[in-house]
Structure 1
Amino acid sequence: MECSEIIIGGDTAGIEWRVPVFRFKGSDAAAPSVHIQAALHANELPGTALAHFLIERLRRAEEKGTIRGDITVVPQANPIGLAQYHFGEMEGRFDLGSRTNFNRDFPLVALAERETLLDDLDRRPAADRLKRTLLHMALGVDLVLDLHCDDESLQYAYIDEAFWPEAADLASALDMEAVFLSDGESTAFEEAVGHAFKRQGGDRLKTVPGRLAVTVELRGRRDVYPDIAMRDADGLWRFLAGRGVVTDAAFEARPYAGPAVPLDNIEMVRAPAPGTVLFHRDIGDRVKAGDLLATLITRPGEADGTLAVKAGHDGLVATRSSARYARRGDDLMKLACREATRNDRKPGTLED
């Protein structure tokens, strides 16, 4: 195992950021290569815990000579966000300096333009240098996994339709309860990788066999426990074994049995008015159109001071907000539905 650091100089004097990188050299140049990173949103830590236990297992595999493909693991990809606290709480998702989501505004380049990501790097702000360095690393491999989590959530993933259904093996290995099929039209890290993979010279590819760029949502932000992290690390190991990145004689392929739905089929349940949130349904529940999902206490103490929030479609409650006060328009839930829930969604991400 090789341990190194990405060093990102600060935008003010006397500051620098260090990003630990763990590399395992494979024995077979023909085996797939992998980039795994966690906590790009610095306050989403289930992936960091998973990476910790996965690295332990990879160390043992390296001693046994069972690593076939090159593997890079970045267990805490965003030290800039990790240090940004606001009134005692880590921000993590948005850069306080630029007010930009740490998982947005990644450059969209073709694969052949990979080296241009590093042009004039020293002239760019620290957050941009971090993004370009991570993307440059990722575009040098075959399989890219960006580990995130939601607020309160089932285990699910965003997977570009260009990588589906080949990526069903990842969904199976990690026991995902849903897959959201994305359109690859945002500037998030995973979609920037997918943009390059689909543009390898000539026309845009509709499918990219042997390649993968995926955002894995490892349940909710509070789901950081040793047993869960070890189980998820085992799941990721199974994926690596199935793709031939590592050797495991005990590996057995399993089909993915959960739903895979396009983003047009995700009902974003939003608060129609501000108020205290009383949830009636939990993640994992299956609901019918018209079912009561939450009650908003909009005017406490008044006879007509509540507002019902109901499901617009049949679906699976995939995520739920952990906040118990909502502003007007705040996201309360995501429902994974069998049919399209709207016809006016713009391409790109579901949330900022």
Structure 2
Amino acid sequence: MDISEIIIAGDTPGIEWRLPVFRFKGTSAEAPRTYIQAALHANELPGTALLHFLLEKLRRADQDGAILGDITIVPQANPIGSAQSHFGELQGRFDLGSRTNFNRDFPLITLGERASLLEDLNRHSAVDRLKRHLLHMALGAELALDLHCDDEGLQYAYIDEAFWPEAADLAAALDMKAVFLSDGESSAFEEAVGYAWKHESEGDRKATLPGRLSVTVELRGTRDVYPELAGKDAEGLFRFLVGRGVVAGARSELPAFAGRAVPLDNIEMVRAPEAGAILFHRDIGDSVEAGDLLATIVSRPGMADGMVEVRAPQDGLIVTRVSTRFARRQADLMKIACAESSRAARKPGALEA
């Protein structure tokens, strides 16, 4: 195993950021190359904990000569976001300097333009240089996993339709309860990787990408950072790597993926109709029917008409829920995976900003 650091100079004098990168050299040129990162949203730490345990497994496999495909791991992919605290709260989702989401605005390039990502870096901001380094590493692999988490959530993933249903093995290995089939229309990291693979050269576009996978894995919620969960997820991810031939080992039979796989158009983004305190009546993992009471918003405390009901727009599975208990008007409350398309209009791309 090789450990190195990518140095990213800050945008003000005297500042620099260090990005540790762990690399394992594979012994087989035919084995898939793998790139895994965590905490691109710096305050989402279940993936960092998972990779801590996975790296121990990979070190042992390396000592046994069992690493077949090159593996690159970045356990904390956003040192810039890790340093952003506001009144004691880590602000890891948005760059405070530019107000942009750390997981948006990745360059959409062809695979043949990969080398250009690291050319003339000084003309880019520190955040954009970070993004270019991360994307450059991922495009050197066939399997790219970006580990995130939701606010409160089940285990699920965003997977481009180009990788489905082949990616069901990852969903099964990590015991996911749902898969959101994305349309590849955003500039998020996993979709930028998929975009380059689909467009290997100018004018070329592939609809399917057998043998490849770029995915955003949502490892439950922000507070689900426990050794038991991280160890379980690390074991599942290790089984996935063995199953894909990245690591040599006995391939245990994975159960079939038993969760829901639905397109983004079938995700009901339940929002607060008024501002106020949130009183949830249903939890993540609950199956609900159209009209079920999901939450009430205490919009005018003490008034006879001071509560507003929020009901399920259609049948489905509650996959996520916000952890805050105060909502602004039209703030997101839940994501519900449904069998039918939502009636709410949705722009192509990511569900959230």
| TM-score, reference length from structure 1 | 0.99
Contact 1:151 1:322 in 2 (8 A): yes
Contact 1:317 1:336 in 2 (8 A): yes
Contact 2:39 2:76 in 1 (8 A): yes
Deviation of the 1:250 alpha carbon: 4.9
- Residue identity opposite 1:92 in structure 2: G
- Residue identity opposite 1:153 in structure 2: G
Residues 298-317 of structure 1 aligned to structure 2 (within 5 Å): 298-317=299-318
1:217 aligned residue = 218
Cα distance in structure 1, aligned partners of 2:162 and 2:200 = 14
Cα distance in structure 2, aligned partners of 1:165 and 1:6 = 35
1:63 aligned residue = 63
SS of the equivalent of 2:268 reads strand
Cα distance in structure 2, aligned partners of 1:274 and 1:344 = 22
Contact 2:242 2:251 in 1 (8 A): no
- Residue identity opposite 2:32 in structure 1: P
- Residue identity opposite 1:249 in structure 2: A
Deviation of the 1:342 alpha carbon: 2.6
Cα distance in structure 1, aligned partners of 2:265 and 2:136 = 31
Please list the CA deviations of residues 50-102 of structure 1 after superposition, one character each: whole Å capped at 9, or x if unmatched. Answer: 00000000000001111110000100000000000011101000000111100
Deviation of the 1:253 alpha carbon: 3.0
Cα distance in structure 2, aligned partners of 1:238 and 1:131 = 29
1:324 aligned residue = 325
- Residue identity opposite 1:338 in structure 2: A
2:197 aligned residue = 197
Overall identity of the aligned pairs, in %: 72
1:135 aligned residue = 135
Q: Show structure 2 runs of 5+ residues with no match.
A: none
Cα distance in structure 2, aligned partners of 1:280 and 1:49 = 31
Between the two proteins, the alignment pairs up a number of residues equal to 352
Residues 157-236 of structure 1 aligned to structure 2 (within 5 Å): 157-201=157-201, 202-236=203-237
Cα distance in structure 2, aligned partners of 1:342 and 1:171 = 28
Deviation of the 1:203 alpha carbon: 2.8
| TM-score, reference length from structure 2 | 0.99
Cα distance in structure 2, aligned partners of 1:340 and 1:184 = 18
Deviation of the 1:145 alpha carbon: 0.1
Q: RMSD of aligned C-alpha atoms?
A: 0.8
SS of the equivalent of 1:51 reads helix
CA spacing shift, 1:242–1:250, aligned 2, 3 Å? closer
2:276 aligned residue = 275
SS of the equivalent of 1:58 reads helix
Cα distance in structure 2, aligned partners of 1:136 and 1:170 = 23
Cα distance in structure 2, aligned partners of 1:90 and 1:343 = 33
Q: Show structure 1 runs of 5+ residues with no match.
A: none
2:111 aligned residue = 111
2:37 aligned residue = 37
Contact 1:265 1:342 in 2 (8 A): no
